[in-house]
Chain A
Amino acid sequence: MSDNGILLDIKGLCVSFFTEDGIARAVQDVSFSVKKGETFALVGESGCGKSVTALSVMRLVADPPGKIVAGEINFDGRNLLEMSDQRIRSVRGNRIAMIFQEPMTSLNPVYTVGEQIVEAIRLHQKKEEAEAWDIAAEMLRKVGISDPAQRVAEYPHQMSGGMRQRVMIAMAISCKPELLIADEPTTALDVTIQAQILDLLDQLQEQSRMSILLITHNLGIVAERAENVAVMYASRIAELSDCKSLFDNPLHPYTQGLLKSLPRLGFTGKRLYTIPGIVPEPLRFPAGCKFHPRCPIGCNDKRCQTVEPQLRRLDNGRAAACWFAPGYERPDDPKI
């Protein structure tokens, strides 16, 4: 696997949450792969399953109630889902690191930021304590925190949100991971800090050739930074494409709707487009294509209402899950 440049390869991942109200299928049949050194974006609305997909890679899905029911997550040729707890611990933080969405709560309030970074460094790199502290200060400098030698001795509550997110990034990259999972790393930050953090991630990626799995609902970020994109809707991938073609020519009506609802420079006079309806709850997914009640094309189509389209690779190297995507239909498809 590792020879063709693919670092992370997810195949047919299904995650369900077994709740008192029923089984919520949060992720269904999700497959995609992340190449070495690339930024892969996973886009979708809240609750579409993108965070659960990311947590699955780290094997952090809460069990119970959650459970990975099917699929493979191959990292550098090894299936993470079959690893022992011992083995997965040596991968977590060391080869795959994660940045969480909420910087205000992602650091332990009772330890200084230095102590928290040092713990990770000492665990994975077997460094002496004093040396680990030097590395920690160096990492803080790398993520653009001024006066790092002083800052390592501060507690999280003495820092602002943007600083804490930088600390999180410093902690994540301190062991030089091959894959960095960034779960909405900028959602909780204001716009200027957002740009700084994302630039920082770009820089770090250039320096160390790590792959980034960027999870976001912000299409603007995707357009600027990602090479490949998977658009998720209601637990499935709706469209999988390289970034440029996705923005130039979206195949799935959901992607089209998302792009139409983005405000553009010079766009005046009319109300901004919104996709009608709301995201269905995992416990009450509609039959057929999950997007059909909100779809301008498929809302009255019998087949969309009854048969769910699978993600299918198309001739142009992209993939979509829509009966109406050009080149999607095949002779043996059910006709209604």
Chain B
Amino acid sequence: MVDNKQQKDWGTSYGEMVWKEFAKSKFTLCWLGFIILLFLLAIFAPFLANDKPFVIRIDGQLHWPIFKALTASDYSILLAAIVALTQFVLVLHNRKSVDPSIRAGVLWRQITISVFIVLVGIILLFVFIPRRLDATDYKSMVASGKATGAVFAPVPYGFGRTDLKVREQPPNRQHWLGTDDVGSDVLCRLIHGSRISLSVGFVAVGISSIIGIIIGAILGYSGGKTDFIGMRFVEIMMAVPVFFLIITIVAFFPRSLFNIMLIIGLTTWTDDARFVRAEFFKLRRQDFVQAAVSLGLPLRSILFRHMLPNAIAPVLVNASFGIAGAIFIEAALSFLGFGVAPPTPSWGQVLSLGVSTTGRFLWWLTLFPGLAIFFTVLAYNLVGETLRDAIDPRLRESV
């Protein structure tokens, strides 16, 4: 740490300018808020919808069933969310109080520590938290007077619980959004389903962006024969109807969430590759890249430190649309029965139950997940749209 240095005013960075432009649209900010809300919903899903009470008094003793019933992955998600939030706060804090000359180093150290904490934490959680099955029916215990002082989650149903007595019920006071064909609460399944939708969106887009960036960067920087052959390959990939390819592949592999993410990621990178290639093609001949080469910087630094940040804008915009697309594809796959296997809840799956085996049209099973998908996809698309406008320097009034 260099303490004797005076604080410098860090200039307005490109990212800050884009954010300022983005924040001008209050309408889109609302939709960004909606996305953040969805995230909170996904992270805290077990606390919002769970058939275990937070706390209950049985035979005079206090029990905490919900915390015992949480799985290692639930705890991992919570841990990752807390660390990510802390990291975000730290970044904001860095901007104010860390000297710019060492800020990059400090940031890297913080990120390394955060990643380390999350990884070690997840491993420890999976090692030390056993798979427990708590089949106790706390609600009947409360009803029969055996237990008292129970505090339940707002939606007191588990997503895997079936209750054939209340199957195919329209929305009512007990089940706000109705129940499905095996008597599971729809609202509960939607809340837990948001985890699937969001993680599919982010992981799939993460995979496709990384592949697209690497391929695009190599093609754009090398040019010539490599570029020619590579682009023909990209064009062949683009000519393949992705959705039918995914259906075909999913039919051959086990129906796991990870497979679906991987397949969506592996088949949708072509747009990113094209964007990055085009940007690199343009940047390769720009003076500052030539200047970087003339300073003797290694190729790795030129490609990923100097060129990539200048080429990332269209990838970010595309990622926003890509997340919407991936959520949509996952919902469609689940609707067609190729999605995640029950009882894992997913919006598309609930939607597909709308037409029951008896031929009745259960409108609440179609409308509510449909709205969830609709608003989520809409939110991502609007955010992507605004981001694109904010990044476009021709639309920016003051630089």
Interface set of A (CB-CB < 8 Å, partner B): 58, 60, 62, 64, 88-94, 97-98, 100-102, 105-110, 112, 114-115, 118-120, 123-124, 129-130, 133, 149-150, 152-155, 157-158, 168, 171
Q: Which of B11, B14, B290, B297 contacts A100 (CB 8 A)?
A: B290
Docked complex Cα distance between A133 and B298 (Å): 20
Closest to B399 in A: A157
Query: Which residues in B have their C-beta under 8 angstroms from that of A130?
Result: 2, 101-102
Which residues does chain B contribute within 8 Å of A91, judged by CB atoms?
Answer: 296
Contact call B8/A152, Cβ cutoff below 8 A = yes
Residue among A64, A90, A106, A115 with the highest chain B CB neighbour number at 10 A:
A106
Give the size category of B's interface with A.
35 or more
Min Cβ gap A239→B in Å is: 28
Question: With A and B bound together, what is the CA distance between A118 and B294 in angstroms?
Answer: 15
**Are A97 and B294 touching (Cβ within 8 A)?**
yes
Nearest-neighbour CB distance to chain B for A241, whole angstroms, equals 29
Contact B223 A114 (CB under 8 A): no
User: Given A100-B287, A105-B288, A158-B12, are A149 and B294 neighbors across the interface (CB < 8 Å)?
Assistant: no
- Our pick among A88, A109, A119, A149 for the contact of B297 (Cβ within 8 Å) is A119
Q: Which residue of B lies closest to A108 (CB)?
A: B288
Complex partner residue of A108 from B5, B6, B285, B292, CB under 8 angstroms: B292
Asked whether A168 lies within 8 Å of B291 as measured between CB atoms, the reply is yes
B301 within 8 A of A: yes
Contact of B101 among A58, A62, A114 (CB under 8 A): A114
Find chain B residues with CB under 8 A from A155 CB.
11-14
Q: Which residue of B lies closest to A153 (CB)?
A: B8
- Asked if residues A129 and B290 are in contact (CB atoms below 8 Å), the reply is no
| B contact residues around A115 at 8 Å (CB) | 104
The docked-state distance in angstroms from the alpha carbon of A171 to that of B290 is: 14
6 inter-chain pairs at a CB distance below 8 angstroms, sorted by A residue, are A60-B290, A114-B100, A120-B297, A150-B9, A155-B13, A168-B291
Q: Which residue of A lies closest to B285 (CB)?
A: A62
| Cross-chain contact B296 with A153 (CB below 8 angstroms) | no
Closest partner residue, chain A, to B223 (CB atom): A64
Q: Mark B155-191, 1 if CB is under 8 A from A, else 0.
A: 0000000000000000000000000000000000000
Collect the chain A residues with CB atoms within 8 Å of residue B102's CB: 129-130, 133
Contact with A along B8-34 (1 / 0, CB 8 A): 111111100000000000000000000
Q: How far is the CA of A154 from the CA of B295 in the complex (A)?
A: 20
Cβ of B13: which chain A residues have Cβ within 8 Å of it?
110, 155
Contact (A106, B100) CB under 8 Å given A124-B296, A154-B11: no
CB-based contact B101/A93 at 8 Å = no
Cα distance A334–B258 when bound, in Å? 80
Contact string, B275-300, partner A, CB cutoff 8 A, digits 1/0?
A: 00000000001111011111111100
Q: Given contacts A108-B292, A157-B399, could you give 5 more A-B pairs where the C-beta distance is less than 8 Å?
A: A106-B290, A119-B305, A129-B105, A155-B11, A158-B12
A155 and B399 alpha carbons, distance in the complex (Å): 12
Contact at B11–A153, with CB atoms within 8 Å?
A: yes
A93 to B2, CA, bound (A): 28
- B window 335-392: CB within 8 A of A: none
Of B8, B104, B301, the contact of A149 (CB 8 Å cutoff): B8
| A109 cross-chain contacts in B, Cβ below 8 A | 14, 288, 310
Say whether, besides A110-B14, A149-B5, A158-B12, A92 and B294 are in contact (CB < 8 Å).
yes
A102–B288 Cα distance when bound, in Å, is: 9
**Are A158 and B11 closer than 8 Å at their CB atoms?**
yes
Q: What chain A residues lie within 8 Å of B310 (beta carbons)?
A: 108-110
With a cutoff of 8 Å between Cβ atoms, the chain A residues found around residue B296 in the complex are 88-94, 120, 123-124
The CA-CA distance from A157 to B15 in the complex, in Å, is 13
Chain A residues near B298: list those with CB within 8 A.
Answer: 89
Q: How far is the CA of A4 from the CA of B287 in the complex (A)?
A: 35
B291 touches A98 (CB 8 A): yes
Asked if B6 and A149 make an inter-chain contact with CB atoms under 8 angstroms apart, the answer reads yes
Chain B residues near A93 (CB, 8 Å)? 294-297
Q: Which residues of A contact B305 (CB under 8 A)?
A: 119
When distances are taken between beta carbons in the complex, the residues of chain A under 8 Å from B12 are 155, 158
* Interface contact B100-A105, CB-CB below 8 Å: no
Give the shortest distance, in Å, between A41 (CB) and chain B (any CB): 20
Partner of A120, one of B11, B104, B290, B295: B295
CB distance from A191 to the nearest CB of B (A): 22
User: CB of B224 within 8 A of chain A?
Assistant: yes
